[in-house]
Amino acid sequence: MTPSDDLLNQALAHHAAGRLADAEAIYRRLLQDDPNQAVPMHMLGVVAHQAGNNDLAVDLIGQALVLQPDYANAHYNLGNALKDLGRPHEAVAAYQQSLAQNPSSADGHFNLANVLADLGELDQAVACFAAAIALQPDYGAAHFNMGNALKGLGRMEDAVAAYKSALAIPPASAEVHHNLGLALHQLGRMDQAIASYRAALAIQPEFTAAHYNLGKVLMSEDRSIEAIASFEHVLKRATGDDRTGAELALAHLGVMDPPATTPASFIKSYYQSRVQDWSNADWDKDAESYQGYEILSKILNFEGDRTDLAILDAGCGTGTLATLLRPYARHLEGVDLSPDMVEKARKKDLYDTLIEDDLEHYLSDGQRRFDRVVAAAVLVHFSRLDQIFAKFHRVLNPDGTLALTLFVDDDCEKFSVNVAGFFSHNPAYAIQAATDAGLTLIAQERGVHEVHGTTDIIGVGLLFQK
């Protein structure tokens, strides 16, 4: 063994023991003696990555790869640094280079899968997680993350199997039990979902998301007293979206007064979690779970083959309505609060203008005018409708029309919060609020708007004219 080999082994031992400063000093000494050494250059980059200096890490590991292009571990650690820098596409390329040199690396397949999942490439991610598991069957994190990717693809049965495989590998994880509960809930296996959430809470009693989702299942099963206890526990600990969700649930259960509108941060988070599914929405394929667009299409009136309309898709989401609206539009504009939804809509290349904004703020611009405004399941985020109807009236040209859908609650006076945490309205109240704003009802259509879990949400489509 040469003196330099001995020094390198000392540095690697320091590094493995977490003595990064000692390891770094020796790596630098080795490079002073001979700057054309790939291993100490690479390991110096790893030290930089571990210290959070990822720009330096990319530079140093890149130099190591110039010296030794087939250095599998260097490509792997370059991927780690690029991932942490928010450069996922370059990270994918680095991991793929690493696996080309070392295809038997379970960690390489695992980290590549995680980046692909972050990019929304869930099918590819599942394949990479499976490759990691084939190499290392007891890789619990790979089983868990594969379950998350499968759940994102809507493959709930496969997700349940993946989560159960993760749970078979110690130690027990509250997060795995929780996500298993989410998948079981989606499958309508309520008793099993409740058991999974409670297993999560047995491990981590202050797991607010588990309390919240347990409350949602209990509420859907009409176990109101237990649900209230779960949501009240959330209020004691949580801030942000979980707290908002608990407040909306308690409003549905009659324990709290509902807010005037759903908070913008909650709406953004809600739709961010659904953007992948909705961007691939198919009216025929998804007809059983979502029929809101079908209700809306029945009341729209585009006056034959007219193609010169200025149309606003208010709350455009991922742009599912754009294919219906585009043939009639001289100018098609979409607005949505969710940046993820707007980005998906932009990729359809059907809108002339797309704007990320709060709807009320957007409608307050006095310069905008439209012949048609379409608002599918947008007012489910508003309790009182007088102000939003007045703003819709303001942006409509004379004889312009507003087509919208609402969730229905015929038993409330004006509005209520439904089991899914959205506002439902008495259609009579909505029609009166629109009339007071200067709009005239010319058509309506009622039916199942969508299905949340096992619950039918009744909706109504209303067409008004200015």
Count CB-CB contacts under 10 A for residue 283: 14
Q: 44-68 burial, b if ≥16 CB within 10 A, otherwise e?
A: bbbbbbbeeebebbbebbbbbbeee
Domains in the chain (CATH in brackets) are: 3-252 (1.25.40.10), 272-465 (3.40.50.150)
Cis peptide preceding 171, ω within 30 of 0: yes
CB 310 within 8 A of CB 331: yes
Distance between CA atoms of 255 and 271, rounded to whole angstroms? Answer: 26
CB 423 within 8 A of CB 416: yes
Tokens of 437: 């704003």
Distance between CA atoms of 274 and 39, rounded to whole angstroms? Answer: 44
Q: How do the pLDDT tens digits run along the chain, 466 residues long?
A: 677 889 999 999 999 999 999 999 999 999 999 999 999 999 999 999 999 999 999 999 999 999 999 999 999 999 999 999 999 999 999 999 999 999 999 999 999 999 999 999 999 999 999 999 999 999 999 999 999 999 999 999 999 999 999 999 999 999 999 999 999 999 999 999 999 999 999 999 999 999 999 999 999 999 999 999 999 999 998 888 888 889 999 999 999 988 877 877 777 677 666 655 544 444 334 444 567 788 888 888 776 668 899 999 999 988 989 999 999 999 999 999 988 889 989 999 999 999 999 999 999 987 899 999 999 999 999 999 999 999 999 999 999 999 999 999 999 999 999 888 889 999 999 999 999 999 999 999 998 887 766 677 889 999 999 9
CB 124 within 8 A of CB 108: no
pTM: 0.81
